[in-house]
Amino acid sequence: MILNHRRYRPFARSGRTMILAIFATFVLISGLSVFLSTRATSRSKNQAVVIEVIARQRTLAERYTKEVLLVRAGRKADPQLTATALSQSAEALLNGGTAPAMNGDDDDTAVPAASGSVVRGQLIESTKLIKDLTSLGSALLARKPQHVPQTAGEDIRAKDPLERLQVLTALTSNVALNTARNIATQDDRNIASLTGMQLVLGLGGLVVSLLLAWALIVTTRRQTAHFRSLVTSSSDLVLVLGSSGCRYASRSMCRLVGRGEEELLGTGLASFVHSEDRPLLDAVDRWDGKMMLLRVRSAGGDWRHLEAHVTDLRHDRHLRGILLNARDVTERIKLERELMLQTQRDAFGTQLAEALEMSDDEDAVYDVIERAMSEISRELPMELLLSDSSRANLERAAANPSAGAPGCPVNSPYSCVAVRRGQPVEFESSEALNACPKLRERRTGACSAACVPVSFMGRALGVLHATGTPGGPPNAEQLAHLVTLASQAGARIGTVRAFEKTQLQAATDSLTGLANRRTFEREVRTLLRAGRQVAIVVADLDYFKAINDTFGHEVGDRALRIFSQIAREAVRDGDLVARWGGEEFIFALREVDSVKAVEVIERLRVKLAGAHNGDHPRFTASFGVTDSTQSKKLEELILIADSGLYQSKNEGRDRITIGVTPIDTTSLRQLIEDDIEPDAAPMHEMRPLLHEAADEEDPRPTGAEIR
């Protein structure tokens, strides 16, 4: 039971108080020293400038006298300027201010007010002498020297004004010299006083410093003991390395590896460090101030990642080594790697989605898939196997352009275990007992594999198959990319197929597989707008109503499919055949006129006549032909071709007739613009057959023609 409730604090308040006391004492002594020094120094502050100005006063007085004499002699000079400078300098020396500049002398000089009764008395006397000197000089220049009073108490007995001027000059110079001497003497006393105070402060500071040093040593020893306890019990992993290997290992480091400190000293530490990281220890001196990442085998046998801050303390006479302060960051490394892989997967998925979105057909989708395979890995063979329209067979749709295809022999979707399970599967080795049978006995030898099902809206489309070396299947990152590729590829392939199916249904006739009326009109109008030559042929099966009535609609539908097949075989790839409606068909033959179109349709008619083999009733067709030289409008061309069809019907059927314009162009255009039904036109002008042929009364085929 712990009875002492006192808190253990390495940075106790007593330690802080001692440090604050040391700091306060230092500040106090330093402040006192500065204060005394400043006070002593302030007495002689700017005295050099003052002495210089006083010395200049002597020179200015002599200059003034010379200039007065020069002016009296008729020479050019300006004694008034010198007199002004003398007076202003005297006033500045006495009361403080700025001594003016003179030609050939200093610039304006700021001087403080004079201190000390002796110096101030001398400066006052100097000011009076300067006043008397300048007054006498002005009187001499004015030719009235007898009226100048003496204000400084000087006793000059010379009667000659010039002699009196020279005497005043000498007195002014002497007073200035005495003032400078007094100031210099005062400075010497100040310096001596300052030296004494500094000596006292130095001795006092030395004594106080020794006392504070002793107190600091006591405090430091106490803190060192605290720190020693903290270091030995801290969870931080501390190592000290020297030239001979490890010199120190903390208790936490020993606990991590499950060994005593003796086993880690010297070269023992290297046996617990990963072989790939041992060169870092050999070059640890290059990592000063940096972070180093090491892998160390723990007591449990797993590798732990240590992030160590390196500090070179070989210059420290107590340590003489390199300090590694490390901490276990294994969990952080795992998390960072997972986040990095997730970021890469997201980036791969985003780019793949954008590329697939720009793919308009299956071939473009397969090209994107192959490029994605190469990006996942250039070394792993991969292939995409998709089911055909029967959904019973698998065919290779894409393969890795860099490594090729593994050549999986699976032949149907549900023969693949990944498709049956509906989730990715991995096989470490094709020789394992639970390996997929399709992996065994391949010509490339034993292998590992990963299979990912490809589906769209829950319906299996195929499988994405990749192989590797035995024991080395695609890693976690590659498998994640394969799953992303399979998912997005399945969605895009299913979407493209559904869209193509919808487009096919919208553009073709479901019974015959031919283009429907809407597609035909769009394509032919495009040709006519481009000014292309095109021939239009309309066709109608003869006696088709009788076939339906006699043999049923299944036989009639078979007849329509037979005609459609023969029609496709009779025309070129660029020509267009469409079912217009019922038993009516229409052709657009490119770059031919009506005459050449008749030749093409005649081959079709002959082939149709020879196509009856007893599986269906015999039937024929009638045709009407025109071309774009007759009109540039599709509606008009159909009406003209329809007139040819009408003529073929009237002349006995099973024939081809080139249509002619049944009415003048104006009447024809008016008929179209007024939306008049063709059968409303007069019989002698036009009788449309394209939608009426099936309604005529046809004789029934004889029994000999029907099986």
Same domain flag for 409 and 496: yes
Which pair of structure tokens corresponds to residue 531?
């000014």
Same domain? For 158 and 215 the reply is: yes
Neighbour tally for 430: CB within 10 Å:
21
The whole-angstrom separation of Cα 362 and Cα 493 is: 6
Residue 385 lies in a domain: yes
Assigned domain for 2 exists: no
Q: Is residue 517 part of a domain?
A: yes
In terms of domains, do 95 and 53 share one?
Answer: yes
Distance CA 404, CA 466 (A): 10
pLDDT for 169:
83
Answer yes or no: do 46 and 91 share one domain.
yes
Do 598 and 489 have their domain in common? no
In this structure, the answer to whether residues 249 and 319 fall within a common structural domain is yes
Rg (CA), the chain: 59
Say yes or no: 576 and 616 in one domain.
yes
Beta bridge partners of 535: 589, 627
Residue 5 falls inside a structural domain: no
Contact 575, 588 (CB under 8 A): yes
3-state secondary structure of 416: coil
State phi, psi for 164 to the nearest 5 degrees. -60, -40
Is there a single domain that holds both residue 493 and residue 555?
no
For residue 262, the 8-state DSSP code is: H
Among 233, 260, 289, which residue terminates a domain? 233
Do 566 and 422 lie in a common domain? no
The predicted pLDDT at position 655 comes to: 93
pLDDT of residue 671: 41
Q: Confirm whether 354 is domain-assigned.
A: yes
Q: Is residue 3 one of the residues assigned to a domain?
A: no
Domain boundary at 277, 308, 328, which?
A: 328
31's CB contacts (< 8 A; 6+ apart) are none
Strand partners, 539: 585, 623
- Structural domain that includes position 488: 337-505
Q: Are residues 53 and 183 in the same domain?
A: yes
Give the chain's domain count. 4
Decide: residue 201, CB within 10 A, 0-12 exposed, 13-18 middle, 19+ buried: middle
pLDDT digits (tens, 9 = 90+) for 550-596: 888 888 899 999 999 999 999 998 899 999 988 999 999 999 999 99
Per-residue pLDDT, 575 = 93
What tokens appear for 593 in the block? 């006129």
**Low pLDDT (below 50) residues in the chain:** 1-5, 8, 663-707
Are 41 and 155 members of one domain? Answer: yes
**CATH code, domain with 400:** 3.30.450.40
Residue 4 counted as domain residue: no
Residue 1 lies in a domain: no
> In this predicted structure, what is the pLDDT of residue 13?
53
Which CATH number does the domain housing residue 561 bear?
Answer: 3.30.70.270
* Three-class SS of 318-364: CCCEEEEEEEECHHHHHHHHHHHHHHHHHHHHHHHHHHHHCCCCHHH
CATH code at position 268:
3.30.450.20
Q: Distance between alpha carbon 582 and the CA centroid of its chain, in Å?
A: 63
The secondary structure of 618-663 as a DSSP string is: ---EEEEEEETTS-SSHHHHHHHHHHHHHHHHHTTSS-EEE---SS
Q: Are 347 and 341 in contact (CB under 8 A)?
A: no
How buried is 467 (Cβ within 10 angstroms: 0-12 exposed, 13-18 middle, 19+ buried)?
buried
Token code pair at residue 456: 């769209």
The answer on 570 and 481 residing in a single domain is no
Pairing of the two strands 321-328 and 237-242: antiparallel
| 570, 607 contact by CB (below 8 A) | yes
- E strands, 74-213, in order: 97-99, 109-111
